[in-house]
Amino acid sequence: MAELERYGHGGDRLTAAERFGGRPEEFLDFSSNIHPLGPPPRVLEALSRALAGERPQALASYPDPLSRRLRDKLADRLSVSPEQLLVANGAAELIDLVVRVFRPRRVGVVHPCFSEYERAAHLHGCSVVSVRAKEENRFVPTEEELRFLVMRSDLVFLGCPNNPTGLLPPKPVLERVAAEAARSGAVLVLDEAFIDFVPGGEERSLIHRLSSCPTTLILRSMTKFYALPGLRLGYAVGRKDWIERLLDHKIPWSVNALAQVAGEAALEDEEYRRRAERWGRAEREELAGWLRQVGAVDVFPSETNFLLLRLRAAKGRGASGRLQERMGRRGILIRDASTFPGLDDRYVRIAVRTRRENERLIAALRKVWAEWEGGGEG
């Protein structure tokens, strides 16, 4: 396991500070995929009001175990019934919960993918069936690969869009795979943690087709688009009896009162949503263009707020880790993607941030590259 991903993920500022020196908050973090605009202003206002006592006892009472106010607002926004929704402590809680509740013998995953799917499978004693998506398909699984997985697993996790690629299969493929899952009885878990970043994401989702996909469950996160990973918030959408089962097994107060307040305010902040959506595509394409100009990396296409890169020149063993190290010493964190099964030490992943921050990334990359080309140590 690469040093900075010691606990499995990017965004670990404390480990970065231990390794590179400096204060944790000083690092510019391209290693976790959080919206660079920061939390919506309305969230910050609502949290201050809640702490100042507008919602009496926000801290001194137990939170609503069903997050009813937030659930109802989400139901309204998504045009689903509140009984089809379960609010949780981040999508991460739901990944664990679905494995715990459905008790699959075999869990299917497509490599490369978010590591928590396999971790949950192993923790709960399941075996893992995997297919390795092909680089020539930009690591997007084909319909055949997905059908294979669905037929051989009791529960399949699929990132839509996937981490670390930022891509998702076409909707007709998802529909046919969901139909196959319904026939074979497999649970198909579509992880849409990043769908808010995808232009037209809501139309790409199967969220409004769930009535014809009875074994499909959708997971979403509010920590990425609304920049709230420290508060933790996510939700599942699926059939009512499944949502009830999941609720029965969930820790009752896993969604704290402030997270619930924040979630409600985030949904009300239409101005933030508009700004956040405007930011997305233009910055990603700009950054991808700059990276291509730097020349030393191949940039995979992405539909979301992060980019998978492949180091072009053979830089020897551990190249991705050494690039991460050199950037870290310059105060910039990037994700060493060699820790994703299905990738190797030629791959890194970076988040798209603000224009100025992206410029700093490019400037640092150019310097590291010049050192590297000049035969500097590393």
**Could you report how far apart the first and last alpha carbons of the chain are, in Å?**
19
CB of 224 to ligand PLP, least distance (A): 7
225 neighbors 196 (Cβ within 8 angstroms): yes
H or E stretch including 272?
A: helix 270-294
Cβ closer to ligand PLP: 87 or 297?
87
The residue (of 119 and 315) whose beta carbon lies closer to ligand PLP is 119
**Cβ 94 to ligand PLP shortest distance, Å:** 8
Helix, strand, coil shares of the chain, percent, nearest 5, are 50, 15, 35
Using the minimum distance from each CB to ligand PLP, give the nearer residue, 120 or 319. Answer: 120
* Burial zone of 295 (CB within 10 Å; 0-12 exposed, 13-18 middle, 19+ buried): exposed
CB 245 within 8 A of CB 266: no
Alpha-carbon distance values, 62 to 49, 53, 222, 265 (Å): 18, 15, 21, 20
- Distance of alpha carbon 195 from alpha carbon 166, whole angstroms: 10
| In the complex, least distance from residue 63 CB atom to ligand PLP, rounded to whole angstroms | 17
Binding residues for ligand PLP, per CB under 6 A?
90-92, 114, 159, 163, 191, 193, 221, 223, 229, 234
CB neighbours of residue 292 within 10 Å: 12
> Phi/psi class of residue 199: alpha, beta or left (left: φ > 0; alpha: ψ in -120 to 50)?
beta
Nearest-CB residue for ligand PLP: 90
Q: How far is the CB of 308 from ligand PLP (least distance, A)?
A: 13
CB-nearer residue toward ligand PLP: 8 or 295: 8
CA proximity to 194, closest of 154, 158, 231, 230: 158
Beta bridge partners of 309: 299, 348
Q: For residues 179 and 342, which CB has a smaller minimum distance to ligand PLP in the complex?
A: 342
Decide whether 42 or 349 has the Cβ nearer to ligand PLP.
349
- Distance of closest approach, residue 242 Cβ to ligand PLP, in angstroms: 19
Give the nearest distance from C-beta 88 to ligand PLP in angstroms: 8
Residue 90 beta carbon to ligand PLP: minimum distance, rounded to whole angstroms: 3
C-beta of 300 vs 372, nearer to ligand PLP:
300
